[in-house]
Amino acid sequence: MISENNICIAVIGLGYVGLPLAVEFGKKYKTIGFDLSQVRIDELTEGLDRTNEVEQDELASASLLDCTTDASVLKDCSFFIVTVPTPVDDDKKPNLNALHSSSTTVGQSLSIGDYVVYESTVYPGVTEDICVPILERESGLSLNTDFFVGYSPERINPGDKQHRLPTIKKVTSGSTPVAADFIDALYASIITAGTYKAASIRVAEAAKVIENTQRDVNIALINELAMLFNKLDINTIDVLEAAGTKWNFLPFRPGLVGGHCIGVDPYYLTHKAQEVGFDPKIILSGREINDGMGTYVVEQVISLMQSKNIQTQNACVLIMGFTFKENCPDVRNTRVIDMVDAFKHKDISADIYEPWGDSAEIEAEYSISPISEPSKNSYDAIIMAVAHDEFKAMSLETIQSFGKSECIIYDIKNILPASMIDGSL
Reduced to 3 states (helix: H, G, I; strand: E, B; else coil), residue 192 is: coil
The amino acid at 223 = N
> How far is Cα 13 from Cα 69, in angstroms, rounded to an integer?
10
> How far is Cα 99 from Cα 121, in angstroms, rounded to an integer?
10
166's CB contacts (< 8 A; 6+ apart) are 24, 190, 191, 192, 193
What H or E segment, with its residue span, contains residue 33?
strand 30-34
Residue 41 phi, psi (nearest 5): -65, -45
131 counts as catalytic: no
Reduced to 3 states (helix: H, G, I; strand: E, B; else coil), residue 68 is: strand
Annotated catalytic residue within 261, 316, 328, 407: 261
Reduced to 3 states (helix: H, G, I; strand: E, B; else coil), residue 362 is: helix
What's the sign of the alpha-carbon dihedral 322, 328, 331, 335? Answer: negative
> How far is Cα 299 from Cα 231, in angstroms, rounded to an integer?
13
109's CB contacts (< 8 A; 6+ apart) are 10, 71, 74, 75, 77, 80
Q: What is the dihedral of CA 53, 318, 297, 333, to 10 degrees?
A: -30
| Angle at 395 (CA atoms; ends 393, 401), nearest 5 degrees | 130
| Angle at 405 (CA atoms; ends 403, 408), nearest 5 degrees | 55
Residue 379 phi, psi (nearest 5): -120, 145
Reduced to 3 states (helix: H, G, I; strand: E, B; else coil), residue 32 is: strand
Catalytically active residues, by annotation: 261
